[in-house]
Amino acid sequence: MKKEYIVDTPRMPVSWREETKAHKFCPGCGHGLILKALGQAIDELGIQDRIVFVCDIGCCLLAWDLFNTDGVQTHHGRAVPVATGVKRANPDSICIAYMGDGGGYAIGAQHLVNATARNERITVLLANNTNYAMTGGQMAPTTLIGQKTETCPYGRSIEQHGEPTRGPEMVAAIAGHGAYVARGTVSQMNQLKKQIKTALQTQLDGSGFSFVEALATCPTNWRTNAHETWQFLNNNMGAYFQTGEFKKPEEQEV
């Protein structure tokens, strides 16, 4: 007779303890690392029973059943307004809108801009891997200049496509008093977890809108090996997308 054991250790997050399982993302994908940082932040804050995890269409939808929390799967680009509606209907909930760069900066851009302007008390977590990954690797708002995708096979050009979107910089310019805005990377997990934790704490405090962009890897569509993937993340993406905190509640004047 097969015996099953449940090992309860501090390194196993509470939200994952009851049914730990492998994620469904491609090998080397950055989504798994972002969600690991999110799970650890949730557990360290002790807010699992208050979380409503709202995930967008795209690769991020594969996270719909990773957490032992309440959750909603939305239409593409609609994670922010759904999270806003849940938060307004139940102010005690901690609402997280999880999306990719296409869902946040393209089809869902108007929702992101307006939720930021209204200073909605939700947390937006956005994965930036510079392409539309689930549908085959098309050009996204964040595709870098010269980067080749299925829809810009000769490389993105400023003349034809404009410059890549810098989301946190845009959000920080719009966000009101009490907001928190940051950009992290899966190559610096401690920093990323700290940023996500601060964003969630901002929502807990009710001080304002919180937003974290995470630079993520996509070796499947980048067509890169492990070394090339890490080089593209740290050197190419890192050179254009500055990591750090762009707006913090305690630094803003009333």
The answer to whether residue 210 sits within a structural domain is yes
Query: Is 11 within a domain?
Result: no
pLDDT of the residue at 21: 66
pTM of the predicted model over 0.85: yes
CA angle 238, 58, 121 (to 5 degrees): 75
Does some domain include residue 16? Answer: no
Gap between the Cα atoms of 221 and 214, Å rounded = 18
Q: Please give the Cα distance from 44 to 12 (Å, whole number).
A: 11
Burial class (CB in 10 A: 0-12, 13-18, 19+), 153: exposed
SS3 state of residue 84: helix
The residue type at 30: G
Quick check: 94 and 100 in contact, CB under 8 A?
no
In a domain, 74, yes or no: yes
pLDDT given at position 23: 80
Does residue 19 sit within a domain? no
Within a domain: residue 118? yes
> What is the layout of strands, in order, in the sheet containing 244-247?
70-73, 51-55, 94-100, 123-128, 210-215, 180-185, 244-247
CA dist 162 and 77 (Å) reads 21
The single residue listed with the structure tokens 């939720």 is: 115
User: How many domains, in total, are found in the chain?
Assistant: 1
The pLDDT tens digits for 81-93 are 999 999 999 999 9
Give the pLDDT mean for 196-220.
Answer: 97
pLDDT at 62: 92
Q: Write down the pLDDT at residue 3.
A: 38
The answer to whether residue 247 sits within a structural domain is yes
Residue 22 has what pLDDT?
A: 76
Write the pLDDT tens digit of every residue in 163-204.
999 999 999 999 999 999 999 999 999 999 999 999 999 999
CATH of the domain at 82: 3.40.50.970
CA–CA distance, 34 with 12 (Å, rounded to integer): 16
Taking the C-alpha atoms of residue 200 and residue 124, their distance in angstroms, rounded to an integer, is: 9
Q: Is 206 among the domain residues?
A: yes
Q: Which domain holds residue 48?
A: 30-251
